[in-house]
């Protein structure tokens, strides 16, 4: 029997006949000394499942990967900020916050264009309906709604840029604040703050549209000095 | 209330925007509150503009989204007055300046996401729409004398001049920051006392 590899990320649909039994492709590869390949998302998911950083040599061994291919894949992931490599020889590989959420976003890609005035208007209506649910005492349904929504926005902040990222982060933060309180009156107060934030975001989008300003552009502020103990930035 | 026409003068020209009224407090005539009944989504929009003048320079101070103080230097002048554009919808004033150096003086990490978003859009407007502005023609500007209304005081919540924690300076070189800032603070503190 081949050694069991605790890797859920590698597809295991195919079984191979080996001496009267069926083994997974992974087990066969290990048994016969053949390397496998892992996609970047497989690697990220595996690291997330591991729950802690792993050494490069353990990583290639456990995933049964070719060292050179794995090295280059990791370099690409590091360049995207999805993992970090700590140290040089047999580097320790750790999953970054961005990489952590990328594992979820891979199944729910969020297009930056999704956040527009129309979208925020429909989100506002949706939240007003949730507010009605709160008034009817359906606390579980309210929490479920904000839990799902807040997670969606949190995950997708990494796929967004410029003002879109600020808006998604803001939506997520306001929703987590709603979830953090139990008392209905406090929830209602936080929901109203969220609605106000949506109005403001819509206003900013309307201004940007009328002035033909692309909100996905990142704004770079450069620190150029200090005065009275406060930093001074220039654009 | 039309007495204003005989006792007060305009402090700027308007290039874009059309305020419904311009309130001026009897006791503090250096601040003009440009007023619209509606902003994009909220009622009662007061946009204060104050002129700080001296023999060597003229500085204009305005407010942006309640917490930001905008300090405009090296302003473009036509017939001795600066020129303002009020941004469509939200009516934030943009004073046209010869130089578009923008300096921000506060720790941006202090800002919550709402205000980060507001800072983002105002900086993008200044950079994308006003950088490299060549000049303004006399034909483009208008006055607002007929809209001035003198009042005893504007509501306390709309009054201008106390908060200078978050400062955005436009058109000022870094080496003149301290001087400009002291001047603005001094004037604002006299205005609000």
Q: What tens digit of pLDDT does each residue of A47-67 get? A: 887 889 999 999 988 887 888
Contact A213 B124 (CB under 8 A): yes
Return the ∠ at Cα B128 (arms to B123 and B132), rounded to 5°: 110
Q: What pLDDT, on the 0 to 100 scale, is given for residue B7?
A: 56
Residue B131 touches chain A, beta carbons under 8 Å = no
**β-bridge mates for residue B48, sequence order:** B33
Average confidence score pLDDT of chain B: 87
Residue B26 touches chain A, beta carbons under 8 Å = no
Nearest CA in chain B to A171: B113
CA separation (Å) from A73 to A41, A44, A102, B55, B168? Answer: 11, 11, 16, 65, 44
Cα A104 to chain center, whole Å? Answer: 6
pLDDT tens for residues B83-98? 999 998 889 999 999 8
In the predicted structure, residue A110 carries a pLDDT above the cut 70 = no
Region A127-154 average pLDDT: 89
Q: What pLDDT, on the 0 to 100 scale, is given for residue B22?
A: 96
Preferred mutation among A157, A196, A235 to probe B, highest tally of B CBs within 10 A: A235
Region B133-154 average pLDDT: 91
Distance, CA of A5 to CA of B2 (rounded, Å): 87
Contact B88 A202 (CB under 8 A): no
Contact B123 A219 (CB under 8 A): yes
What share of chain A in percent tops pLDDT 70?
A: 88
Distance, CA of B129 to CA of B79 (rounded, Å): 24
Q: What pLDDT, on the 0 to 100 scale, is given for residue A136?
A: 92
Residue spans per domain, chain B: 4-179
Distance, CA of B126 to CA of B135 (rounded, Å): 15
CA separation (Å) from A163 to A102, B6, B10, B129, B190? Answer: 20, 46, 36, 17, 37
| Continuous segment of H or E residues that includes residue A186 | helix A184-210
- Residue A219, number of CB atoms within 10 A of its CB: 15
Q: What pLDDT, on the 0 to 100 scale, is given for residue A94?
A: 95
Q: What pLDDT, on the 0 to 100 scale, is given for residue B95?
A: 95
Which residues from A are below 8 Å from B69, CB to CB?
none
pLDDT bracket for residue A160 (50, 70, 90)? confident
Region of poorest pLDDT, from A153-167, A169-183, B8-22? A153-167
For residue B55, what are its two tokens? 């023999």
Q: What pLDDT, on the 0 to 100 scale, is given for residue B19?
A: 95
N residues, chain B: 193
Distance, CA of B53 to CA of A29 (rounded, Å): 81
Contact A166 B87 (CB under 8 A): no
Distance, CA of A69 to CA of A210 (rounded, Å): 49
- The shortest C-alpha distance from A115 to chain B (Å) reads 14
Count CB pairs under 8 A between chains A and B: 99
Contact B107 A213 (CB under 8 A): no
Helix (H, G, I), strand (E, B) or coil at B172: coil
Preferred mutation among B100, B106, B124 to probe A, highest tally of A CBs within 10 A: B124
CA separation (Å) from B14 to A109, A210, B92, B159? Answer: 46, 19, 12, 21
Residue of A163, A199, A225 with shortest CB distance to B120: A163
What pTM value is reported for the model?
A: 0.70
Query: Of A167, A145, A141, A142, whose CA–CA distance to A156 is shortest?
Result: A167
Which residues from A are below 8 Å from B168, CB to CB?
none
Distance, CA of B84 to CA of B7 (rounded, Å): 22
pLDDT tens for residues B49-107? 999 876 677 899 999 988 899 999 999 999 999 999 999 888 999 999 988 788 888 88
Which residues from B are below 8 Å from A224, CB to CB?
103, 174
Q: For helices A184-210 and A117-135, what crossing angle results, to 10°?
A: 170
* DSSP class of A112: G
Residue spans per domain, chain A: 15-104, 112-210
Is B85:B96 a contact under the CB 8 Å cutoff? yes
- The shortest C-alpha distance from A124 to chain B (Å) reads 13
Q: For domain A15-104, give its CATH number from 3.40.50.720, 1.10.260.40, 3.10.330.20, 1.10.10.10.
A: 1.10.10.10
Q: What is the interface pTM, i.e. ipTM, of the complex?
A: 0.85
Q: What pLDDT, on the 0 to 100 scale, is given for residue B150?
A: 93
């Amino acid at each position: 029997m081949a050694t069991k590899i605790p890797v859920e990320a590698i597809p295991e649909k195919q079984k191979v006949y080996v001496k009267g039994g069926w083994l997974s492709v992974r087990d066969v590869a290990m048994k016969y000394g053949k390397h496998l390949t892992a996609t970047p998302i497989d690697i990220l998911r595996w690291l997330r499942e591991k729950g802690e950083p792993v050494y490069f040599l353990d990583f290639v061994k456990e995933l049964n990967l070719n060292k050179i291919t794995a090295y280059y894949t990791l370099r690409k992931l590091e360049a995207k900020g999805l993992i970090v490599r700590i140290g040089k020889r047999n580097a320790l590989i750790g999953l970054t916050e961005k990489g952590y959420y990328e594992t979820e976003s891979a199944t729910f890609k969020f297009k930056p264009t999704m956040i527009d005035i129309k979208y925020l208007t429909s989100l506002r209506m949706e939240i007003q309906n949730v507010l009605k649910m709160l008034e009817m005492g359906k606390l579980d349904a309210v929490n479920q709604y904000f839990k799902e929504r807040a997670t969606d926005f949190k995950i997708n902040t990494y796929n967004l840029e410029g003002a879109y990222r600020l808006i998604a982060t803001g939506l997520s933060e306001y929703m987590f604040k709603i979830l953090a309180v139990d008392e209905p009156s406090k929830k209602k107060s936080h929901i109203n703050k969220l609605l106000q934030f949506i109005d403001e975001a819509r206003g900013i989008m309307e201004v940007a549209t009328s002035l033909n300003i692309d909100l996905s552009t990142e704004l770079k502020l450069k620190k150029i000095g200090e005065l009275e103990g406060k930093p001074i930035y220039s654009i | 209330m039309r007495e204003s026409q005989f006792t007060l003068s305009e402090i700027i020209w308007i290039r874009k925007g059309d305020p419904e009224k311009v309130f001026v407090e009897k006791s503090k005539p250096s601040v003009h509150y440009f007023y619209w009944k509606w902003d994009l989504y909220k009622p009662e929009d007061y946009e204060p503009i104050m002129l700080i003048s001296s023999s060597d320079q003229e500085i204009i101070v305005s407010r942006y989204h309640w917490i930001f103080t905008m300090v405009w230097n090296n302003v473009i002048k036509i017939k001795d007055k600066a020129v303002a554009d009020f941004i469509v919808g939200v009516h934030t004033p943009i004073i046209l300046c010869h130089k578009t150096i923008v300096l921000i003086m506060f720790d941006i990490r202090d800002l919550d996401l709402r205000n980060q978003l507001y800072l983002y859009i105002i900086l993008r407007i200044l950079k994308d729409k006003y950088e490299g502005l060549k000049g303004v023609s006399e034909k483009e500007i208008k006055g607002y004398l007929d809209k001035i209304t003198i009042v005893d005081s504007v509501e306390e919540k709309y009054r201008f001049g106390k908060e200078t924690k978050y400062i955005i300076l436009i058109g000022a070189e870094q080496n003149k920051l301290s001087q400009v800032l002291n001047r603005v603070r001094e004037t604002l503190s006299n205005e609000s006392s």
